[in-house]
C-alpha cells in the first residue's frame, strides 16, 4: 500500500489493493471518501455495495470513486479509482 497506516479502519480486497498500488492512491483519501463523501449512491447490481465519490484536492481535484461493502464489519473496500466521468459534477 502506498501509505501504510495502522489507523486505517477497513478491510481491503485483493482487487482494491492492486488498484491502490497501480494508481498510487493514498489510504487516507479512501478513508475520507467513505467517511465524508461528497456524493454517495447505491451500486446498481449489488445491494450490499455502496459507492462514495470524493473530490481529492491533493490530486488536482480528481474525483475518487470508492466502492465498498457496507454490510460487513469491518467495511470492505472492493475497488477504488479516479472517475473521469464525475469530473465537473461535484
Are 43 and 50 in contact, with CB atoms under 8 Å apart?
Answer: yes
In whole angstroms, give the CA distance from residue 11 to residue 22: 18
Q: How far is CA 15 from CA 18, 42, 61, 68, 77, in A?
A: 5, 20, 24, 12, 9
Domain ranges of the chain: 11-85
CATH class of residue range 11-85: alpha beta
pLDDT tens, residue order, the chain (90 aa): 444 455 678 999 999 999 999 999 999 999 999 999 999 999 999 999 999 999 999 999 999 999 999 999 999 999 999 998 888 788
pTM confidence score: 0.88
Amino acid at each position: 500500500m502506498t501509505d501504510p497506516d495502522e489507523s486505517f479502519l477497513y478491510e481491503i480486497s485483493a482487487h482494491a489493493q492492486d488498484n491502490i498500488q497501480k494508481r498510487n492512491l493514498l489510504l487516507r483519501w479512501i478513508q475520507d471518501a467513505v467517511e465524508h463523501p461528497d456524493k454517495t449512491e447505491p451500486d446498481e447490481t449489488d445491494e450490499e455495495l455502496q459507492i462514495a465519490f470524493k473530490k481529492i484536492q491533493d490530486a488536482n481535484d480528481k474525483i475518487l470513486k470508492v466502492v465498498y461493502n457496507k454490510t460487513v464489519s469491518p467495511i470492505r473496500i472492493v475497488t477504488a479509482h479516479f472517475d473521469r466521468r464525475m469530473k465537473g459534477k461535484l
